[in-house]
């Protein structure tokens, strides 16, 4: 699994954001400093978008997250990500991931 969020249809933003939160805590990044550092978990279109629309001195972290979510996280991308997780789990023989497919189909 790639730890960076690209904005691709099958990429899960909230998962990558949780990784960012965990790593931020490990290295003691203050909440006020998180927006400029968010770029370390972004790549591709999401990284380009981030640099085009965020100005850390003007917007805060939560607003930056909202901008990224509004641009990339849609019902279609959530459905595609859930189905990808389920498909990968099914291929690897992992049990208990049926909920992702059910959730994706309900969206």
pLDDT tens digits for range 89-101: 666 665 555 555 5
**Euclidean distance between CA atoms 49 and 68, whole angstroms:** 8
49/46 Cα distance (integer angstroms)? 5
Residue 38 has pLDDT above 70, yes or no: yes
Q: Hunting for tokens 């859930």 — which residue is that?
A: 82
* Percent of the chain's residues with pLDDT above 90: 21
**Is 106 a residue whose pLDDT tops 60?**
no
Specify the 3-state DSSP secondary structure of 10. Answer: coil
In the chain, the largest separation of any two C-alpha atoms, in whole Å, equals 47
Provide the pLDDT confidence category of residue 86 given band limits of 50, 70 and 90: low
Give residue 94's pLDDT: 58
Angle, vertex CA 24, rays to CA 10 and CA 59, nearest 5:
80
**What ranges do the domains of the chain cover?**
1-73, 75-107
Identify the helix (H) or strand (E) that includes residue 78. helix 75-92
CA 86 – CA 92 distance, rounded (Å):
10
At 102 the pLDDT is 55
- What is the predicted pLDDT for the residue at 85? 66
């Amino acid at each position: 699994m790639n730890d960076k969020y690209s904005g691709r249809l099958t990429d899960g933003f909230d998962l990558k954001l949780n990784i960012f939160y965990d790593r931020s805590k490990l290295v003691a990044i203050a909440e006020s400093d998180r927006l400029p550092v968010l770029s370390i978990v972004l790549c591709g279109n999401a990284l380009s978008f981030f640099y085009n629309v965020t100005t850390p001195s003007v917007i805060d972290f939560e607003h930056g997250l909202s901008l990224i979510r509004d641009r990339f996280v849609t019902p279609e991308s959530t459905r595609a990500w859930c189905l990808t997780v389920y498909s990968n789990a099914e291929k690897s023989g992992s049990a208990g991931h049926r909920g992702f497919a059910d959730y994706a189909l309900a969206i």
